[in-house]
Amino acid sequence: MMTTSATLKGLVCLITGASRGIGRAIARAVSGAGAAVAVNYHQSEQAALTLEDELIAGGAQAMAIKADVSNGRLVEDMFLRVEDRLGPVDLLVNNAGIAFKGLLTDTRDEDWARLMAVNLTGPFLCSRRALPAMISKRFGRIVNIASMQGVCGASCEAAYAASKGGLIALSKSLASEVGPSGITVNAIAPGPVLTDMLCRDMDEGEMGDLLSLLPVGRWGQPEDIARACLFLLSPQNSFVNGSVLALDGGWKA
């Protein structure tokens, strides 16, 4: 577990898509900082339950909770259960996302719709549900995990890039809307991070070519994203708002 000072003690953090990869690293980081953590998952139940056990064994309050974040009814049920067990959500990390690689001419209606539902509608639904309690407290933090593709675009990933670009626009707009209420909203735009999603979508040759384009000479790790997210979630960060933090090792898509 990533250890740090108890900067988030007494706060409740909900992380979507938290059973693996970047989401899991963020869950470990915020738990180590003292937050109670709701580990959202959709399909990876065993991984989520294993993480829940790990966090609890480390002395944290934690719960694994299943929900498809693209479904408003399930999002409402998720928040009610988190509130009942841990309390109102102070910190929201919209991390759940899916990828799609292919020519735009080969992208089916259902591929586009699912990308937008998970990558953009999910953060909209979760943010909308979390905000009333944050506004009431006059404190809250929302971090949206976007992508450098959403900043720069990417050949054969137009649909994915569009969903992440929309998430960046949502982040900036919402930051202006709720900043006066003591709430910050920021986006993180990772470059190549060594996760199951990256390895699944590329063969060995493609991964070697991509690695050669990273000036830092290494892959990004989920923990790199988690450390940045931890800062953006901290009560000590009250001035970074509406920003898009590029964590790409100097690479541009």
> Structure pTM?
0.93
Q: Which residues are catalytic?
A: 160
The domains found in the chain, sorted by start residue, are: 12-246 (3.40.50.720)
Secondary element (H or E) of residue 130: helix 122-137
For residue 66, the one-letter residue type is K
What is the mean pLDDT of the segment spanning 89-94?
A: 98
What is the rounded CA–CA span in Å between residue 174 and residue 170? 6
* Least confident piece of the model among 1-5, 57-61, 62-66, 125-129: 1-5
Based on DSSP, count helices (H) and strands (E) in the chain, helices before strands. Answer: 10, 7
Task: Render pLDDT for 115-155 as a digit per residue (tens, 0 to 9).
Answer: 999 999 999 999 999 999 999 999 999 999 999 999 999 89
What is the rounded CA–CA span in Å between residue 198 and residue 193? 7
